[in-house]
Amino acid sequence: MGSSWALVFLSAPLMLAFGRVHEVPANFYAQVAAAYLPFVVLPALAGYSGCAKCCCKNSG
């Protein structure tokens, strides 16, 4: 999950700059946001799932 926030934090300004320099259409930013979702949500779910399995296994 640590890399999830870092991906967004570090690459979002790069995508904004890319869009401004290349004068992309407005839907570019929506497409970038949609492309980020799997890279943020899936690692977070995997981390939560691993943590939940570990905690449930050790609590009982």
Q: Give residue for tokens 């904004």.
A: 16
pLDDT digits (tens, 9 = 90+) for 11-44: 899 999 999 999 999 999 999 999 988 888 888 8
Question: pLDDT-derived band of residue 2, with 50, 70 and 90 as boundaries?
Answer: low
**How many residues can be counted in the chain?**
60
- Phi, psi (deg, nearest 5) at residue 26: -60, -30
Residue 60: its pLDDT value, please?
Answer: 55
Dihedral sign (CA 21, 23, 27, 28)? negative
- Does position 57 have pLDDT exceeding 70, yes or no? no
For residue 58, count CB atoms less than 10 angstroms from its CB and return exposed for 0-12, middle for 13-18, buried for 19 or more. Answer: exposed
